[in-house]
A and B are shown apart, each in its own frame.
Chain A
Amino acid sequence: MTETLSIIDLHVNVGDKPILKGVSLEIRRGEVHALMGPNGSGKSTLGFAIMGHPGYQVTGGRIELNGMDVLAMQPHERARAGLFLAFQRPVAIPGVRMADFLRHAATNIRHPERKEGEDLIPMRQFRKELSEKMRDLKIDPEFARRYVNEGFSGGEMKRAEILQMAVLRPKFAILDETDSGLDVDAVRLASQSIAEIGGHEMGILIITHHEQLLEHNPPDFTHVLLGGRIVETGGAELAAQLHKQGYDRVRAAHPEAAADEAAMMETSTSPPRSQAPPGNEIIYAK
């Protein structure tokens, strides 16, 4: 029986504002799912809600991991149960070295029953493991001594998130816009890395705008989020089509959702992000 992460009719608010209005999705380990949709459609919200961010309130629906009620778990319990979120803009933890942070995280994830204060993975053993993984991902060994996300460029942040994924080996990984802020080469490297790490073991949900990440991780399923709901599901060809043509066809095919989207955009409190004209690659400076 393959392990499954099920999102069932999920409704999520930010403050009073409904963002997700009934999202359903099932991911099995070994599958790659792409979640696409125009800006502001709630893609990141799904990732945060799955992981249990306190700023996002679940107002309806369920999330189950192999039948276990994920919504009843604290964020750290969800991590220890095998969920992982690669953040779009991970926060800095000043003064804490990557190596120490990762060693701590790896210990907790691999020993979910661990109580605070109990021994960590032996330093020597972990250092060896970490340097192997960093070599595989072509990350400079000096990186291990840097303070978590402090002064990292966009590309370094993304690579750090992917490194964590490699070390923690989650069952299910949600990668939030993991290709924004990277140049083309970096995106290719990132997507290759994800493929290597994921292999056939991980269930991956890639939240993305761009096709690049999907180059090495062709999705088994593509879901389109519009106005807080998944309006279409297809395969890899849907992702390619959306990337080439944008979301107009989808909006036209699902007018209610499109109307919801328009309403949400008007009252949106987040700063407007630049929209890429469909079909163009965005290359960001690192």
Chain B
Amino acid sequence: MATDIRNPVQDPIGEINKYDFRNEEKFVFKARKGLNREVVVEISEMKGEPAWMREFRLKALDIFYSKPLPRWGGNIAVNFDEIYYYLKPTQGQVKSWDEVPEEIKSTFDKLGIPEAEKKFLAGVKAQYESEVVYGSLKAELSKQGVIFTDMDSAVREHSDLVRRYFSTLIPAADNKFAALNSAVWSGGSFVYVPAGVKIEFPLQAYFRINAPNMGQFERTLIIIEEGAQAHYVEGCTAPMYSTESLHAAVVEVFAKQGSRFRYTTIQNWANNIYNLVTKRAAAYRDALVEWVDGNLGSRLTMKYPSIYLMEPGARGEVLSVAFASTGQHQDAGAKLVHCAPHTSGRIISKSISRNGGRSSYRGLVRVMKGAKKSKSNVVCDALILDPRSRSDTYPYIEIEEQDVMVGHEASVSRIGEEQLFYLASRGMTEHEAATMIVSGFIEPLVKELPMEYALEMNRLIELQMEGTVG
């Protein structure tokens, strides 16, 4: 059904709200399934993009067609012709609160999510009403020359800046889903922090007024100039529901000399979602990049945040937690690539599987020739809570240089009988004890989260352990 976009306020989708008014007259939006050149051209024109972006999208589409599905990782049972790559009016959003699945609604209640936030998260409302809060933050940021906006606007308003970096870290040919994202991306964040600017508070994805938080093909680009500092937070512990089951995001981060940047994600996608993400950072001289990655939902997540340590003194750290319950497969991990001498990196991966879930660590440490005196360490711990569940480890280590230190430690454990008895002897039921042990297991990640996320994370673990979520 066509939607007249001259009245954007009535449309429940944030995406349409973003469009320039000058496009209003040219189009009556038609909804359709499937992917082809026409759809891609239409997307680009709807967004009013410069020609270079349209060409980029079309080239990416060809690459997408030419690439096969990966033969590793999870089972991506997706019919590409059945997907809406671009929004029909209610795509990805339910029309009313009544249509939101019951278990999602009750999880919101249990997590104590306030009313307005619930509707936003369920996609019923397009926009999180944080204008009052965000308004003052935004003023502060722009005074310092910080750009924090949605990607669509950035392409239009900061075209040259974006073009300099866009897709230089993750080319469309990187993998099939990077190619797909490159062709049909929409939404996502653009962050630019000028040299020397240190942003004290975390930049939250949902502070972007224009776009909903759960875009299908989000594209994020972050540039941290020399000596700058920022922390970006994405996602939330409440389950995110979307009627479209394929989500393929791309995130590129540039951390220049002496900068510090952390990207925190807590994601709890509903059980129907394929969440396939390509996230990569380039850390330059003496820069520090940290990925803090919590994956607690989805039907299949394939995500390997990576850091390329480009110049001496660069440091990278990936802290990752994956929790797979019934019908879920978390194939998560990290990649560290040492491209220069005197670089260091660390990966800490904690995976939990219960009730038939499957949780894997898949990681790469690569030390290239010439990257002398580099240090890299991987700790991957798996906790399997019952005999039906499964955990796998796929560590790849490629070392092309002699004078380096690379370590890898792995452990697989169950909840010990002695631990359960000890906690029982202090009055805890077996279930309470198991939940407490699981919380302790992921503590190294939780203690790095901003306070409100940490609290929500703990509550979420409790719910996951009950099996009432997703």
Could you say which residues of chain A place their CB within 8 Å of the CB of B440? 93-96, 147-148
Interface-located stretch among A1-9, A36-44, A71-79: A71-79
What's the nearest-Cβ distance from chain A to residue B60, in Å? 43
The count of chain B contact residues (Cβ–Cβ below 8 Å) is: 26
Interface-located stretch among B50-58, B96-104, B256-264, B415-423: B415-423
Flag whether B9 is at the interface (Cβ < 8 A).
no
Q: Are A75 and B441 in contact, with the CB atoms below 8 A? A: no
A95 to B441, CA, bound (A): 6
Interface-located stretch among B247-255, B335-343, B429-437: B429-437
Interface residues in B408-426 by Cβ distance below 8 A to A read 416-419, 421-426
Flag whether B387 is at the interface (Cβ < 8 A).
no
- A79-100 contact mask (Cβ, 8 Å, vs B): 1 or 0: 1100011010011011110000
Pick from B418, B429, B442, B462: contact of A91, CB under 8 Å: B418
Could you say which residues of chain A place their CB within 8 Å of the CB of B443? 94-96, 147
What's the nearest-Cβ distance from chain B to residue A6, in Å? 20
Flag whether B161 is at the interface (Cβ < 8 A).
no
Q: Is the interface of B mostly helix, strand, loop or mixed?
A: helix
Q: Which residue of A lies closest to B437 (CB)?
A: A93
Q: Which residue of B lies closest to A110 (CB)?
A: B427
A109 to B424, CA, bound (A): 11
A52 to B441, CA, bound (A): 26
Q: Are B428 and A105 in contact, with the CB atoms below 8 A? A: yes
Could you say which residues of chain B place their CB within 8 Å of the CB of A94? 440-441, 443
Q: Which residue of A lies closest to B350 (CB)?
A: A95
Flag whether A116 is at the interface (Cβ < 8 A).
yes
- A163-177 contact mask (Cβ, 8 Å, vs B): 1 or 0: 010001000000000
Flag whether A235 is at the interface (Cβ < 8 A).
no
A2 to B141, CA, bound (A): 70
Which of the listed residues B423, B439, B441 has the most CB atoms from chain A within 10 Å of its own CB? B423
Interface residues in B427-470 by Cβ distance below 8 A to A read 427-432, 435-437, 439-444, 462
Pick from B425, B429, B437: contact of A116, CB under 8 Å: B429
Pick from B417, B428, B437: contact of A54, CB under 8 Å: B417
- B166-184 contact mask (Cβ, 8 Å, vs A): 1 or 0: 0000000000000000000
Q: Are A105 and B427 in contact, with the CB atoms below 8 A? A: yes
What's the nearest-Cβ distance from chain A to residue B439, in Å? 7
A147 to B417, CA, bound (A): 19
Flag whether A272 is at the interface (Cβ < 8 A).
no
Q: Which residue of A lies closest to B459 (CB)?
A: A117
Q: Are A93 and B425 in contact, with the CB atoms below 8 A? A: no
Could you say which residues of chain A place their CB within 8 Å of the CB of B444? 95
A78 to B421, CA, bound (A): 12
9 closest pairs, A vs B, by CB? A95-B440, A95-B443, A108-B427, A75-B424, A96-B440, A105-B426, A79-B427, A76-B424, A91-B418
Q: Which residues of A contact B (CB under 8 A)?
A: 51-55, 74-76, 78-80, 84-85, 87, 90-91, 93-96, 101, 104-105, 108-109, 112, 116-117, 147-148, 164, 168
Contacts A53-B421, A75-B425, A105-B426 aside, 8 further interface pairs with beta carbons under 8 A come to A79-B426, A84-B425, A85-B425, A91-B416, A91-B419, A95-B441, A96-B436, A104-B432
14 pairs, A vs B, C-beta closer than 8 Å:
A54-B417, A79-B426, A84-B425, A90-B422, A91-B416, A93-B436, A94-B443, A95-B444, A96-B437, A105-B426, A108-B426, A116-B432, A116-B435, A147-B440
